[in-house]
Structure 1
Amino acid sequence: MSFYESLIRELYDRLAERYIADRPNVPWNERPWLDRFLTHIPPGGSVLDLGCGAGTPIGRYLLSRGRAVTGIDTSPRLIAHCRATLLDGDWRVADMRTLALSRQFHGVLAWDSFFHLGHDAQRAMFPVFRDHALPGAILMFTSGAEHGEAYGDYHGETLYHASLAPEEYARRLADNGFSVVKRVFDDPDCAGHCVWLAQRTH
């Protein structure tokens, strides 16, 4: 684990109450992408939310649309909040990098979470995505637009982000049995997010 990856884990747990209070005040622009994601998941289907945070708004929305949600986060405080407020979900303290649930899902989601991992940790995540995806399952994650690292700020704390090159993401998806369905870089309708939507084809 890199130095900044370890800081991210500690930061979100230590600032959990601030994050829970802040999240409802952030404009909710994920819905169009979540709706695209949900078109590939049958009613009652299962979703693995990697880096689920406080569970709102994303986990709440997925549950409201009749999907079974298993949410994973490294922060015990954020998971405790999910368990107290979203009783229909299955919320677990776990590290996505070492996840091995021995089950597969109709959808795998890593929205604004996967990009906090360093380059090597991101590369190692593609087999994890594959191992938790049913045949035909949909995968959605956010990334940067080019290979590199970036450092943001959250309440005066360093917030680390990394991205592989788009060509490498596409290659690693293909190597792990995923076909790109849609990708948009710097989406103006989603606060400049770079979003990947891919389906497991084999």
Structure 2
Amino acid sequence: MGTGDERDLVRRGYDALSYRYRSDDADDGQYGPWLAELDRLLPESAAVLDLGCGCGVPVARLLTRAGHTVTGADISEVQIRRARRLVPDATFVCADATELDFPLATFDAVVCFYALIHMPLTAQPDLIRRIAGWLRPGGWLVATVGDTAWTGREENWLGGPATMWWSQADASTYRMWLHQAELSVEAQERIPEGTSAHTLFWAQRPPAL
């Protein structure tokens, strides 16, 4: 299966199961404390990119309510339509994250929760490097990535009529990629999920001297 087919699986999966994955009125869940900490670290009226923004809940919703300017990007047209309705004060684009392009030093933070692991593994190091360039000096990348290496798919994902696909490296590899992108890893936390886990990274572009 080529990368185009894999990306299409992800797009069609979220198109089909958008509401099953997260309802309009979903609570902040585990994201709440992470976003509260990010808000504490950000300047007022910060510019934030939410990669893999889904329906805009809770990341874009919470950060816009905190007074920040949020741009969200997601590969699923259904998710983006919902995000524009649910978070009208943010800007949303339907796009493959690996093909996005922004000017250097555009954002104070990039948030990427459970999205990088839906992208082809070979594209992930380059995307991390480009994210580092999009960050302003002192800016933050907050991302959940793989804990152990795995690539695979699941039929009838979430009990629905769709297939989902993932591809992830292990946590030490992601840490290496962050360092190679000249981001400083300030925190790393293992996030258990059932019998497996993800890893949460807080990585910062060095502040200007």
Structure 1 length-normalised TM? 0.87
Residue 135 of structure 1 pairs with residue 137 of structure 2: yes
Deviations 1:19-56 (A, max 9, x none): 453x6457711111112222221111111000101001
**Equivalent residue for 1:64?**
65
For residue 122 of structure 1, the aligned residue among 98, 121, 124 is 124
Note closer, same or farther for the CA distance 1:162–1:15 as it changes in structure 2 (3 Å cut). same
1:181 corresponds in structure 2 to 186
- Whole-angstrom CA distance in 1 between matches of 2:72 and 2:141: 15
- Give the SS at the match of 2:114: coil
Match of residue 90 from structure 1 = 91
- Structure 2 gaps of 5+ residues are none
Q: How big is the shift at 1:80?
A: 1.9
Matches within 5 A, 1:18-167: 18-19=20-21, 21=23, 24=25, 28-102=29-103, 104-152=106-154, 153-154=157-158, 155-167=160-172
Q: Once structures 1 and 2 are overlaid, which stretch shifts more, 163-172 or 12-21?
A: 12-21
TM-align CA RMSD:
2.3
Question: What's the offset of the Cα at 1:157?
Answer: 2.4
* Counterpart amino acid of residue 119 in structure 2: L
Where in structure 1 are there 5+ consecutive unaligned residues?
none
Amino acid in structure 2 at the alignment position of 1:41: L
* DSSP 3-state at the match of 1:157: coil
Counterpart of 2:11? Answer: 9
Cα pair distance change 1:3/1:69, threshold 3 Å? same
**How many Å apart are 1:64 and its aligned residue?**
1.2
CA–CA distance in 1 between the matches of 2:56 and 2:72? Answer: 8
